[in-house]
């Protein structure tokens, strides 16, 4: 029986195996945030000569990338990214995700939006039939926290302030349980429309293109079927 940490390591290795052949000396790679991505960064360090630089989704990943000798560019200096690699807190079979357990959801969504393809790396505990077990992180402007919380309660949610936490953007996070996602993309759009919401951790309007899921029986690859 492999531990969750070992499965995260496997997912990171699988991502490296997929990403490396696609990197050119001029390539810039989008890098997410979290313990699974930390392992990916550690593996990437040995291949830093294979690509030009990375764009990071958090101060935490920036520090780890730089410590690994990988150059980190500001997103404003970059017009496109071939790939974006990141973990998730929940992933469904349509490759919709809940993200933001580490609080980096806003930068993650922005960096992912610039990439051609989002490669999601998770252990099998994250794969669900229906999103909703993990409380949805919502980044809010501090001034709007209670106003957003009231709106979210109207939608059936139970918001809890992530105490003592400030995002890299200087905002706060409400972790919202009790929500139902019958149409995740429509629900994401609705949350985006609440004044004071900076970003919600639902990644459904634009989800992952490819997911690498590490399980006790080996790696599974889920790929979005483009219509």
State the catalytic residues: 108
Pattern of binders to ligand 5RP over 14-43, x per CB under 6 A?
Answer: ------------------xxxxx-------
Pattern of binders to ligand 5RP over 53-72, x per CB under 6 A?
Answer: --------------------
Question: Residues 40, 62, 96, 102: which binds ligand 5RP (CB under 6 A)?
Answer: 102
Told to check if 103 binds ligand 5RP by CB under 6 A, we report yes
Q: How far is the CB of 193 from ligand 5RP (least distance, A)?
A: 22
Question: Residues 14, 15, 89, 176: which binds ligand 5RP (CB under 6 A)?
Answer: 89
Please report, for residues 106, 145, 149, the alpha-carbon distance to residue 173 in angstroms, rounded to integers and kept in the order given: 11, 8, 11
Q: How far is the CB of 76 from ligand 5RP (least distance, A)?
A: 21
Ordered DSSP codes for 25-55: TT-EEEE--SHHHHHHHHHHGGGGGGSSEEE
Q: How far is the CB of 49 from ligand 5RP (least distance, A)?
A: 26
- Is the CB of residue 33 less than 8 Å from the CB of residue 102? yes
* CA pair distance 83, 49, nearest whole angstrom: 17
- Is the CB of residue 58 less than 8 Å from the CB of residue 102? yes
* CA pair distance 162, 176, nearest whole angstrom: 10
Contacts of 51 (CB under 8 A, 6+ apart): 23, 24, 25, 26, 27, 28, 29
Told to check if 188 binds ligand 5RP by CB under 6 A, we report no
Q: Where are the beta strands (DSSP E) in 104-153?
A: 115-123, 136-140
Told to check if 104 binds ligand 5RP by CB under 6 A, we report yes
Told to check if 86 binds ligand 5RP by CB under 6 A, we report yes
Q: How far is the CB of 227 from ligand 5RP (least distance, A)?
A: 26
Told to check if 207 binds ligand 5RP by CB under 6 A, we report no
* CA pair distance 225, 189, nearest whole angstrom: 22
Can you say how many angstroms the Cα of residue 135 is from the centroid of all Cα atoms in its chain?
15
Stretch that binds ligand 5RP, among 76-84, 85-93, 163-171, 178-186 (CB under 6 A): 85-93
Give contact residues for ligand 5RP (rule: CB under 6 A): 32-36, 86-89, 99-105, 108
């Amino acid at each position: 029986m492999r531990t969750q940490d070992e499965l995260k390591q496997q997912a990171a290795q699988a991502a490296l195996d997929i990403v490396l052949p696609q990197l050119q000396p001029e390539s810039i790679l989008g890098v997410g945030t979290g313990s699974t991505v930390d392992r990916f960064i550690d593996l990437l360090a040995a291949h830093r000569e294979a690509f030009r630089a990375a764009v990071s989704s958090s101060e935490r990943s920036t520090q780890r990338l730089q410590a690994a000798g990988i150059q980190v560019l500001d997103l404003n200096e970059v017009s496109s990214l071939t790939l974006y690699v990141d973990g998730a807190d929940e992933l469904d079979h349509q490759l919709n995700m809940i993200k933001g357990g580490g609080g980096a959801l806003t930068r993650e969504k922005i960096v992912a939006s610039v990439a051609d393809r989002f490669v999601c790396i998770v252990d099998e505990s994250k794969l669900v039939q229906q999103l909703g077990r993990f409380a949805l992180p919502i980044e809010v402007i501090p001034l709007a926290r209670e106003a957003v919380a009231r709106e979210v309660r109207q939608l059936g949610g139970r918001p809890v302030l992530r105490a003592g936490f400030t995002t890299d953007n200087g905002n706060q996070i409400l972790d919202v349980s009790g929500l139902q996602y019958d149409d995740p993309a429509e629900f994401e759009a609705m949350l985006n429309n609440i004044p004071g919401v900076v970003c919600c951790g639902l990644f459904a309007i634009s989800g992952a293109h490819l997911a690498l899921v590490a399980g006790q029986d080996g790696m599974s690859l889920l790929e979005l079927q483009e219509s």
